[in-house]
Amino acid sequence: MAKEKKVYNKHLQKALKDVGILYVDGVKKQLKSDETYATGNLAKSISYKVIDGSVDISMAKYGKAVEEGSDPAKGLQTKVSTRFINDIMEWMSFKGIGAGKNKKSIANAIARGIKKEGIIKRFEGGTNMLDKAYSRLEKQIGEKLSAAYLKDLKDKLNNL
C-alpha cells in the first residue's frame, strides 16, 4: 500500500484563493465608487488565478486604459472604428446620455475627443482602481496570508 502524499501549503493556497475573491470584489467596488462603472462589462471581466504562490488578476483589455488612463493618439490618427463608436453608444445608454438621431454623432464626437485628448482626465491619469482597492484591503490580505502561512508552518513542524 502506497503512502499518501502530504499536501503542503494547503492553508496558503486556500488563503490565496480567498485573497483573489476579496481583491476582485474590492476592485469592482472601486469602479463603482470612482463612478467608472457603466455597463458592468469591465467589472464582469475581472477575475483571478492563483499561479505559483501568487494571485494573478486579469480583466478586459480596456481595463488598462481605465486603470492608467490613455494618451492621445499619435500623429494624425483621428479616425475611429465603428466598434469604438458602438461601445461609446452603449456606455451613453447606461449613463443616460444622448438620444435619437444625434446619439451616433455624439458618440462619434466623444470617440474623436478620446483619440485626440486621451481619457480619464479627471483622475490625472487613470483611476488607479487596483492600487486603491489594495490599499483598502492591505491589512486584511496580510492577516489572511500570515495566518495561513503560520498554519502551514505548524503542519510542517508537526510532521518532522
More confidently predicted of 133 and 35: 133
Is residue 75 a contact partner of residue 92, using CB atoms and an 8 Å limit?
Answer: no
Is residue 116 a contact partner of residue 78, using CB atoms and an 8 Å limit?
Answer: yes
Question: Mean pLDDT over residues 58-87, rounded?
Answer: 81
**4, pLDDT greater than 60:** no
More confidently predicted of 145 and 98: 145
What pLDDT shows up at residue 39?
A: 83
**Any idea where the domains of the chain sit in the sequence?**
1-70+123-160, 72-118
Task: Quickly state the pLDDT bin for 75 (edges 50, 70, 90).
Answer: low
Question: pTM for the full model?
Answer: 0.74
**The residue type at 71:** D
